[in-house]
Amino acid sequence: MGPARQVEVERVTTRIVVDLSAKRVTLFDHGRKVLSSKAAIGAPATPTPDRQLLRQPAPDPDRQERPVRSGAVGVSAFSNVLTGWTQGGPIAIHGTNAPWSIGKAVSNGCIRIPNRVMAKLFRLTLSGTPVLIRV
């Protein structure tokens, strides 16, 4: 029974809210806002899906839109329009090497936040953290 003993169970007290109309990502812990940042969201032709998701492990490193330095918060969403991408166009919250894009609708559906904010968000959330994307 080795594998079962290797599993750690932790209580998830965090929640991420992505507000597409405000282009903002907010992290809550125990219902209290602990981090908030402007974000880039999907362009009109490649919109960010608007549904409740879960934080997943970081996305595949072979993705076309790579996370920058600090990793990524993969979410359980896939693009409705980028069906030719690896794994059907997975969506993530990640940093960017294009800081000018923050606050604009320019991505392929991913949510971009400043790298320093991404590093903190990645550190403060566990897999299984609910991610609510609303319009």
Q: In this structure, are residues 111 and 92 in contact, taking their beta carbons and an 8 Å threshold?
A: yes
Query: Residue 56 and residue 127: Cα distance in Å, rounded?
Result: 5
- 30 is a catalytic site residue: no
Whether residue 94 lies in the annotated active site: yes
**Could you tell me if 134 and 63 are in contact, meaning their C-beta atoms sit under 8 angstroms apart?**
no
Catalytic residue among 23, 63, 94, 112, which?
94
Which one is catalytic: 16, 41, 82, 110? 110
Token readout for 10 is: 């932790």
Please answer whether residues 18 and 132 qualify as being in contact, where contact means their C-beta atoms are separated by less than 8 angstroms: yes
Structure tokens at 99: 């800081």
Which is it for strands 24-29 and 14-19: parallel, antiparallel or unpaired?
A: antiparallel
Residues recognised as catalytic: 94, 110
